[in-house]
Structure 1
């Protein structure tokens, strides 16, 4: 066991606790877990090469239709820090589940912070001077997850302080970037927990590095959608509408609620010109804008065939002016949680980076939730 783990009040049940929601439909839960995680990684890899580019710049590089497939990437597909942090988020939940399944409660937010510190140490060569030094875990042995792949400056700055950010004591009060949302899919995959617990975990996880409320609300909304897709047999539109309905009574979430409302409206109308998308949803850099663009892409890219739906959605998601890596990751995670592995194009998986690391982490998570 990691010496940084410590008892505390937990919302995790033991492995034997029966699910109150179950997994409806013919798609089994393990497939949804792998689909969500791999879908997020594929979306990240498609968006990563153009995440700092304008749509005009993307079209100059890849032609009038933009970047649409991993096989268009001359240097091959590569994960970014978005996937690295998504997997470190998952590892923190695995660690907390290990405690719960052994009969001991753990502080889940502390597990998240210690996991992010291990990610930081892998990139920077050591822990911040005033931070604890948790023992390594399986994920820390995966060299790919320690390569420097455009890590979030806000995340690095917050972790470098050696302090544990929270809503009460925020770090980076102006930080509202989409990376705080994209790493939060794993919260929604947790079985046997209430929606309120999922949202609380996501908020606390985002607050570790991002102090702006829109980052907190975005993480909660995204993980809530994943939860409804993976456990509630909801369609993407119904999942988004349900999350939006819960947000309507919270004045602090009004900015995100407005973006999601617009995304639902635009997505149900089909594909719209980029200028209209920018006006309604923003540039796709902040947490609320990026989540709204990802949701729009999922709805507007609809196709009866899951793999075609995935391809068209990812093309819409990453050919924008915003954070294409984070937007692509969110869109891919949503469809992977909805369809399971059936959404993932085999040719994309064959050319993708990090599939062994992702499926390895999925297996560890599923072993604790079986």
Structure 2
């Protein structure tokens, strides 16, 4: 079996590792210029901006985006461990407990009404106790001590990118229906964010990852989830509008960062961040018939995703998740992996997800 690029189709294990490591790489690259203006980025790194880790002194840290993505993996792994042992578990409760452990690792208190979760392997890693400018809607939503739901939301007006940034793992679980992927992701977003666009953007992003892991071509998957978003009941218009704008802008190939932000926004909201990342991976996709070079596509897309005046860690992370799910580990530049903080932790969580979903050790 091969992909539409002519390359052999990657295994599920490779896609899981690729998506999680790719997201961590994009996050780390973007974290180096997080919220810098494009002028400041050019002043630091030249006219092309930051295009790799060479100008940085490694190992380079990732942000709360990867911290929370890996805690999402942990919550899903715990729910699947219970299911594999024949015991039904509330998936969202497992995720809430995982996020509360992340909050505690950040030195924050969820209050007396919140449960005290039992520690797991992930909690023993020092990298999660580092404060990396966490999304404040995630912090405040968890700090209520209440388990938010779509019908009883915490942070009802919150629509920051703190949902979409952590939602790739839902798309990496095999053998579940697309509608279930969307619901799991949107429900988990409700734990911290109450605005419909934050929940819907997370669900659509997870659905995109699911389609890529299932072998769908990138352009087709992007068009499919854009149409799906437009058809959602009660959809926040900014989500389908942003995705459609990303598809149109990608047809123009590469545009200047100033035009990117003008058309798609800087990535501060969940819908904007998803639109910027989708544009970056589509605008740098090799033309049909061109030689497939996954690592080159990865580097080009992430360079485009992080060089703008918004939260570059999040847009870089999402682009890395997408390409890792598409190509598997083959797209990850070896030199970049050597510059990443705590790759063993990312691989460790990827291995746990592989084991609980496929039985592979």
Q: Please classify the TM superposition score into its range, dividing by the shorter chain length.
A: over 0.9
For the Cα contact (< 8 Å) 2:108–2:143, is it kept in 1? no
Select 1:187's aligned residue among 170, 173, 178.
Answer: 170
1:295 Cα offset (Å): 0.4
| Alignment of structure 1 residues 1-370 onto 2, 5 Å | 26-74=9-57, 76-124=59-107, 127-231=110-214, 233-250=215-232, 251-303=234-286, 304-370=292-358
Report the counterpart of residue 15 of structure 1 in structure 2.
none
- The answer (yes or no) to whether the contact 2:58–2:341 under 8 Å persists in 1 is no
Contact kept? 1:98, 1:368, Cα under 8 Å: yes
Q: Is the CA contact 1:91–1:115 (under 8 Å) kept in the aligned structure 2?
A: yes
Asked if structure 1 preserves the Cα contact closer than 8 Å seen for 2:153 and 2:193, the reply is yes
Per the TM alignment, residue 100 of structure 1 is displaced from its structure 2 partner at its CA by: 0.6
* 169-178 or 30-39: bigger deviation: 169-178
Superposition deviation, residue 190 in structure 1: 0.7
Deviations 1:46-93 (A, max 9, x none): 001211211111111111111111121146411111100000001000
- The answer to whether the 8 Å contact 1:281/1:289 transfers is yes
- State the alpha-carbon separation in 1 of the partners of residues 108 and 183 from structure 2: 31
TM-score, scaled to structure 2:
0.93
State how far apart, in whole Å, the 2-side matches of 1:127 and 1:154 are. Answer: 13
| CA displacement 1:153-205 (0-9 Å, x = unmatched) | 11111111111111111111221111210100000001111111110111111
Distance 1:169 1:150 in 2: 27
Q: Which runs of 5 or more structure 1 residues have no equivalent in the other structure?
A: 1-23
SS at match of 2:237: helix
Please give the secondary structure, in 2, of the residue aligned with 1:71: coil
Q: Offset of 1:247 from its aligned partner?
A: 2.0
Alpha-carbon distance in structure 2 between the residues aligned to 1:34 and 1:334? 12
Secondary structure of residue in 2 paired with 1:50: coil
Shift of 1:276: 2.6
Kept in 1, the 8 Å contact 2:257–2:307? The answer is no
8 Å contact from structure 1 (residues 70, 76) kept in 2: no
Could you tell me how far 1:275 is from its partner in structure 2?
3.1
RMSD between aligned residues = 1.4
Classify the secondary structure of the residue corresponding to 1:72: coil
Q: Separation in 2 of the partners of 1:367 and 1:100?
A: 13
Which runs of 5 or more residues in structure 2 are unaligned?
1-6, 287-291
Query: What secondary structure is seen at the aligned counterpart in 2 of 1:209?
Result: coil
Report if the CA contact (8 A) 2:31-2:62 is conserved: yes
Task: Give the TM-score of the pair, scaled to structure 1.
Answer: 0.91
Over 4 Å off, 4+ runs: none
Task: Give, in whole Å, the separation in 1 of the partners of 2:245 and 2:156.
Answer: 26
Report if the CA contact (8 A) 2:197-2:239 is conserved.
yes
Give the Cα–Cα distance (whole angstroms) in 1 for the partners of residues 48 and 9 of structure 2: 35
Deviation of 1:25 after TM superposition, in Å, equals 5.4
Q: Tell me the number of residue pairs that the alignment of Structure 1 and Structure 2 aligns.
A: 346
CA distance in 2, matches of 1:225, 1:190: 13
In structure 2, how many angstroms separate the alpha carbons of the residues matched to 1:53 and 1:222? 25
